[in-house]
Structure 1
Amino acid sequence: MIKGNQVIIPTPFNEQGEIDERSLINLLDHVMNLGTEGVITLGTTGEFYALTNAEKKRIIDIASERLKGRASLTVGASHSGTDIAAELAAYASEKGADAVLVTPPYYGQVTTEGMIQHFATIGLIGNIDLMIYDGGGGVEVPVGVIDQVRQLTTRMRYLKLTTPKPSKVREIHEAFGGEVGVLAGEDLLIMPELIEGAIGLTTAAGNLRADVLTNIFQLVQEKRYQEAQVLHDRHIAPQAIVTGSIRNEFIQCFKFALKEMGVIACDKVRLPLTPLSEARKQNLKQMLINQQLISAAEGSLV
């Protein structure tokens, strides 16, 4: 079962814009060494929309091999074309991934029935569970859609919640008797969502603070809410505010931070994303210093 702290990793590129396999392996080891229970590749943070199918399959190969027996692996298989998404889900299944993360079709003005059939088709692929991304592409997934998908496939097991509705955790739990696990997906809302009963976390924040997020999850399970909130406010909220203050820069922010921390070699992103300004880089460096993720000497300000 997928639960606990699941880290959504970026896809490292080299200066030429090609996948940096050595940095990818370093990143996987980095989050594992910090104590995460699972990894999610090819999510939004992983720039899935900018990768070819061959590149996606190579990332699945590397992640499945590196994580084997160490942590769960969820693979993003999102595309507005159902057959294209299903093909990647089938490959992830062949490679032993535990689940596929699937956004609603985000282009083409898809009907409710089309959304249901999209999810169900992917959920019937191979031997792999389905994690629907509620809020992916800015599209909320109604509870009724989840119910219909469950009638078509037994693999509808998880929901990643980024729609800003913490109470939906309880709504999903009550609707399906706990048979659909909700994972908190918004850094600034993980505390209320965990208190509502989320079975885990799916955030990019774990790239920097997987150890803290794992501790927060465990504390909430023990109903030690005040201690968990202190950790969140001290470590997760500050980086969430800095990295998420400009929504179309959060991927660049995490790549830059990981480069400054020595985890990956380069902070290159692919178009349509563009590099951070020097002012934003200095802003991030100061946050990393304040969080003691790099030394003052490494991140000295101009």
Structure 2
Amino acid sequence: MNTNFQGTGVAIVTPFHNYGTIDFSGLERLLHHVLDGGVNYIVSLGTTSEAPALTTDEKQAVMHFVKETVNGRVPVVMGIGGNSTHTVVGTIKNTDFDGVDAILSVTPYYNKPNQKGIYNHFKNVAAASPVPVILYNIPGRTASNIAAETTLQLAHDFKNIVAVKEASGDLAQVMEILRQKPKDFQVLSGDDALTFPMMTLGASGVISVLANVLPQPFTQMVNLLLQNKITKAREIHYSLLPVMQQLFADGNPAGIKAALEIKGIIKNNLRLPMVKANKAVYFALQKLLREF
């Protein structure tokens, strides 16, 4: 059982054909692209995958395809989350975890539970999961923040809660977690642009969107940070920053899918309610990606 998720994880998109079905050939090209770029693990069915717009059968098909294509070369993390604890636990109990190294589980959204509710939600997730659990804190999407105290309590109380993907953007909160976390508990950036500062503070890596399209330079930056080679890593960070900014200028995964089409890896198709990035963002990305 792998419990080490340092380095660069990539939250892969789900490619679609023009007529709306999943483009598995595009997914295969994408997986080979990021693996050749040196990423350390694959995250499937996260936010960037448009998982809420996939059916249960499609999610199973995507996971099966990802596991077969990766074929044990790197760990595979599966997104399983929701705002009904009962449903999330039921999904975990009915999932085939062969070839899955961990689950990434987002904070319950829309309901806006308090910290006691969040703690008890993840207590049940941890009890049900046969693989390690990575907490996913992204209050900008869920309207529900996992406070540092709650993350720390979960990290100390449950051995199979091994990491948190922190996308709160609150560096004070991140530092509090880093200061008091158990030794083996990992803090992962959930924001490409904050990966450099978070790793200089002690984070172990990132689950990245940018690494879909530019895996090699982004992974190089992360590896340099793990080696404490700050100056060179900072150079790469600032060279990539304009791309990061454009990727999220008109929503995620709209930006990354535009970038992947520009690079000729997949088609720029999304499922409603997500729509394509506007032309200004598309042309800005086109110009920026020429440099890489």
**TM-score, normalization by structure 2:** 0.91
Q: Structure 2: give runs of 5+ residues left out of the alignment.
A: none
1:178 to 160, 183, 191: 183
Residue 20 of structure 1 corresponds to 23
Deviation string for 1:14-34 (max 9, x for gaps)? 111111111111111110010
Q: CA deviation at 1:131?
A: 0.7
Aligned amino acid, residue 271 of structure 1: L
Q: Distance in 1 between matches of 2:128 and 2:32?
A: 29
Could you tell me which residue of structure 2 aligns to residue 3 of structure 1?
6
Q: Is the 8 A contact 1:86 1:125 kept in 2?
A: yes
> Could you tell me which of 67, 71, 74 is aligned with 2:74?
71
Residue 106 of structure 1 corresponds to 109
Report the equivalent of 1:193: 198
93-102 vs 6-15, which moves further: 93-102
**What does residue 247 of structure 2 align with?**
243
| CA–CA separation in structure 2 for the residues paired with 1:63 and 1:120 | 28
Asked if 1:86 is matched to 2:89, the reply is yes
Distance 1:151 1:172, change over 3 A: closer
Asked if 1:133 corresponds to 2:136, the answer is yes
Of residues 18, 43, 47, the one that matches 1:44 is 47
SS in 2 for 1:80: coil
Where does residue 146 of structure 1 map in the other structure? 151
Change (3 A) 1:84 1:19: farther
> Is 1:32 the equivalent of 2:65?
no
Distance in 1 (alpha carbons) for counterparts of 2:13 and 2:185: 26
- State the alpha-carbon separation in 1 of the partners of residues 175 and 183 from structure 2: 9
SS of the residue aligned with 2:104? strand
Matched residue count: 287
1:288 is matched with: 289
Displacement of 1:150 in angstroms is: 4.2
Verify the 8 A CA contact 2:113 2:144 in the aligned structure 1.
Answer: no
- CA RMSD after TM alignment: 1.9
CA drift at 1:93: 5.4
What is the one-letter code of the residue matched to 1:284?
Answer: L
Secondary structure of the corresponding residue to residue 206 of structure 2: strand
Question: Identity of paired residues, percent?
Answer: 25
SS at match of 1:124: helix
- Comparing 272-281 with 66-75, which one deviates more in the overlay? 272-281
Q: Secondary structure at the match of 2:255?
A: helix
Shift of 1:152: 5.4
Q: Look up the match of 2:261.
A: 259
For the Cα contact (< 8 Å) 1:93–1:126, is it kept in 2?
no
CA distance in 2, matches of 1:255, 1:2: 25
Aligned residue for 1:279? 280
**Partner in structure 1 of residue 169 of structure 2:** 164
Q: Counterparts of 1:21 and 1:83 in 2: how far apart (Å)? A: 31
- In structure 2, what is the equivalent of residue 296 of structure 1? none
For normalisation by structure 1, the TM-score amounts to 0.88
* 2:50 counterpart letter in structure 1: E
- Residue 66 of structure 1 aligns with an amino acid whose one-letter code is T
Q: Is the 8 A contact 2:195 2:205 kept in 1?
A: no
AA partner of residue 279 (structure 1): A
SS in 2 for 1:83: helix
Which of the residues 52, 59, 63 maps onto 2:62? 59
